[in-house]
Amino acid sequence: MGEHTHLFVVAIETYQDASIPPVKFAEADGRDFVDAWRQLVPEQPEVVHLESAKATKTTIMSRLKTFCDHVQKSDRVVVFFAGHGVSINSSSCITAHDTLHADLTGTTIRLNDLLDLLKKCASQRVLLFLDSCSSGVPIDANMRSITSSFSGEELKAFCKDAEYRVGFASCRAEEVSYSHSSVGHGLWTYLILRALRGEANEAFEKDALITGSSLQSYLAANLPPLVRNTVTGKKSQTACFFGNHTKEFIVADLKDLLQQKATVAGISVAMADSRIVGLRNGKIKMLSGFLKKSHFVPDTCNPATDKFVKSVGSANVDELGKEIFEQLKKEFRYKSKEVNYSADSGECSITGPDFSVGVSISQDNDPSKYVIEIEVTDFHKPEAVMTEAFANVFEDYCDRIVIELAHGVDCESRIQQLEEIPSYRDNLHYDADRTWFSLELPDTNLVVRCQGNEISIQHSEGGDLPALLRDTRDALQGLDAAGIKLLPGTSR
């Protein structure tokens, strides 16, 4: 059997007992931790994810037991907890949603009970991440603690003499774990997320590996200044690591993730002026605003008929735009303040933190038909297009990349260049006036079409969007290496 990654994630932000203060950003910590691993692991991890009200004491322990029973020897187990931690009679405990402040002994979970279940699972590779340490000082708005010190002795015992068990904790026993609105996470978790997303080169060894030692070194160096710069007052927080240092534990291999980022970087010179596009066509008389008894299907194309199509198709555009809006919220987990929707006169727009989406309708070249264009633009975070979430949203809507150039391509000279290269010549097509050309690349089923100030690239037989971006990068680099420059900023 092959290796699989199993995630057990508990994030408790709010508590049933109102006297227990909320743990700010705990749910965001858990969600983004899961998302980070989903981007990291090609086979997609198996996930148990419990948030707030679903994370009762009984549910946590029951789900963890079932979780451990299904783990195989070759699997990697990753456990993450964000919430309050307490120490009761010198035993470290984690809280549950139904923990009662008046009965901490009976309503919390002893860390040793949790670790005992993990010891019994078949996996030989276990990672623990605990953002739950506590202190005896009074609570302030950014602390994740409710009572006396949370000891690390249990973690030390769990990892001792175990070659492939490591534990990371957000602070020492005498300290507290802080969060802050500037990063929208616990500060320690925020740094871990940056490492897992490939955003922290100092957390890597050999360019693409995160090991127990490299991650801890990164956390130890970056957590104290982050706390000083975000938390008011002279506060300190020290990241802790438990494990066997004689054997280097590989936390994550980022090779594939960094390759995906390189894919985006490989066409970044064009992304700023690019659109990811899809078209939908249909008969005007089928639009929801078309009234068969009083409207006539146009038999010509002009500004007046195009305006008519925008009017009778406005509701269709609005419906499609809201459908995409809902999918974006679900897949990217955008908060209401992060994404905006607006619609007017046959057009709608969605603006978000990563990119923007536009949907518009117009009359097709066939006067009796319409065309709806869906386009993704304004790539504030180009790497977002390489995520599973992006593919889930736009797979059914978009199928091509359109690169807009400040200066048009000299099609005639490019055609002459392509004809000199046998591997390109046999797959080259162009019009009699050499105003456009298209090049089919059989190895990837990619079609590159140049006309005027646009380069349009798509798969001839369909394909997923990450593959389209990778193939686009490779095609443009291959053309450039052959001396055929299509984009500004390339080597020839």
The values of phi and psi at residue 464, to 5°, are -75, 160
Name the residue with higher pLDDT: 42 or 403: 403
Instruction: Give Cβ neighbours of residue 137 (< 8 Å, ≥ 6 apart).
Output: 143, 145, 176
Q: What is the share, in percent, of the chain residues with pLDDT greater than 90?
A: 53
Residue extent(s) of CATH 3.30.310.10 domains in the chain:
399-492
- State the fold for domain 5-253: Rossmann fold (3.40.50)
- Average pLDDT score, the chain: 86
Rounded CA-CA distance 244/485 in Å is: 53
- Locus of tokens 């046999």: 426
Find the distance separating the first CA and the last CA of the chain, reported in whole Å. Answer: 48
441 pLDDT above the threshold of 60: yes
Rounded CA-CA distance 457/455 in Å is: 7
Task: Look up the CATH superfamily of 399-492.
Answer: TATA-Binding Protein (3.30.310.10)
Rounded CA-CA distance 340/353 in Å is: 10
Query: How confident is residue 152, by pLDDT bands cut at 50, 70 and 90?
Result: low
pLDDT given at position 485: 80
CB-CB contact of 85 with 93 (8 Å): yes
Residue extent(s) of CATH 3.40.50.1460 domains in the chain:
5-253
Instruction: Give Cβ neighbours of residue 292 (< 8 Å, ≥ 6 apart).
Output: 285
pLDDT given at position 103: 93
pLDDT given at position 264: 53
> Could you tell me where the DSSP H helices lie in 83-130?
104-107, 111-120
pLDDT given at position 472: 84
The DSSP output letter for 476 is H
pLDDT given at position 167: 86
Q: What is the share, in percent, of the chain residues with pLDDT greater than 70?
A: 88
Question: What SS3 state is found at 446?
Answer: strand
276 pLDDT above the threshold of 90: yes
C-alpha separations of 178 from 14, 19, 383 in Å? 16, 19, 29
CB-CB contact of 170 with 237 (8 Å): yes
Write the pLDDT tens digit of every residue in 176-187.
889 999 999 999
The values of phi and psi at residue 41, to 5°, are -100, 115
Write the pLDDT tens digit of every residue in 458-479.
998 876 777 887 788 788 878 8
> What angle separates helix 57-69 from helix 111-120, to the nearest 10 degrees?
20
Name the residue with higher pLDDT: 51 or 379: 51
Name the residue with higher pLDDT: 289 or 198: 289
